[in-house]
Amino acid sequence: MITVHSIDDRATVLRKAFACFPSGVTALCALSGGEPAGMAVSSFTSVSLDPALLSVCVRNASATWPALRASPRLGLSVLGEHQAAVGRRLAAKTGDRFAGVDWQASDDGALFVLGASAWFDCSIQAEVPAGDHTVVFLEVHGLHADPDVPPLVFHGSRFRRLETDELAVGAS
């Protein structure tokens, strides 16, 4: 059990507690000045079907977000379980984040990671300040989904894979 003993250790304890909840791993990317720009995002959720909206949370201190924010379109790719190296590369603070990453860009500048479970072609609909992050609502203009590609999962501060419980599936 983790207990907060002082205000000083709150951020560390919160990070550990938040890591108890698994999430998918997405890549939020676009062309910026003709070059690929992007970052890994694990705080992604669906918001609305009508209109089609999703949200991501972006750290206010992100050096990448200003370049992405300026693009008319953003590509959000749900990474597949085979793309842990892509997730690590896009989460890196230094180096070429797109070295060895296969990608495709739309005419509007949205950039998609090839081999991902799903792609969403989006534009920014709204931004809401939320502490040290900003919640970004994205309007979905187009998408591609391949449900046969299992997603990459982030849990306990590590990338993981899902396991199918065949007994539970068959019992339904």
pLDDT tens-digit profile, the chain (172 residues): 555 555 567 777 766 776 555 678 899 999 999 999 999 997 899 999 999 999 999 999 999 999 999 999 999 999 999 999 999 999 988 889 999 999 999 999 999 999 999 999 999 999 999 999 999 999 999 999 999 999 888 766 666 677 777 666 555 5
Residue 109 belongs to some domain of the structure: yes
The reported pLDDT for the residue numbered 126 is 97
Residue 8 belongs to some domain of the structure: no
The reported pLDDT for the residue numbered 5 is 57
The pTM (predicted TM-score) of the whole model is: 0.84
Q: Is the peptide bond before 51 cis (omega within 30 degrees of 0)?
A: yes
The reported pLDDT for the residue numbered 169 is 57
Six token digits for residue 139: 């309007």
Residue 57 belongs to some domain of the structure: yes
The reported pLDDT for the residue numbered 46 is 93
Give the long-range contacts of residues 106-110, CB within 8 A, separation 24 or more: 106/73, 106/75, 108/72, 108/73, 109/30, 109/31, 109/32, 109/71, 109/72, 109/73, 110/29, 110/30, 110/71, 110/73, 110/74, 110/75
Residue 128 belongs to some domain of the structure: yes
User: At 132, is the secondary structure helix, strand, or coil?
Assistant: coil
Residue 138 belongs to some domain of the structure: yes
The reported pLDDT for the residue numbered 42 is 78
Residue 163 belongs to some domain of the structure: yes
Residue 15 belongs to some domain of the structure: no
For the beta carbon of residue 141, count every other beta carbon within 10 angstroms.
14
Instruction: State how many domains the chain has.
Output: 1
What's the rounded Cα separation, in Å, for the pair 85 and 113?
Answer: 12
What's the rounded Cα separation, in Å, for the pair 56 and 43?
Answer: 5
The reported pLDDT for the residue numbered 21 is 58
Residue 14 belongs to some domain of the structure: no
The residue segments making up the domain with residue 80 are 22-171
For the beta carbon of residue 52, count every other beta carbon within 10 angstroms.
17
Beta bridge partners of 124: 138
**CATH code: domain of residue 31:** 2.30.110.10
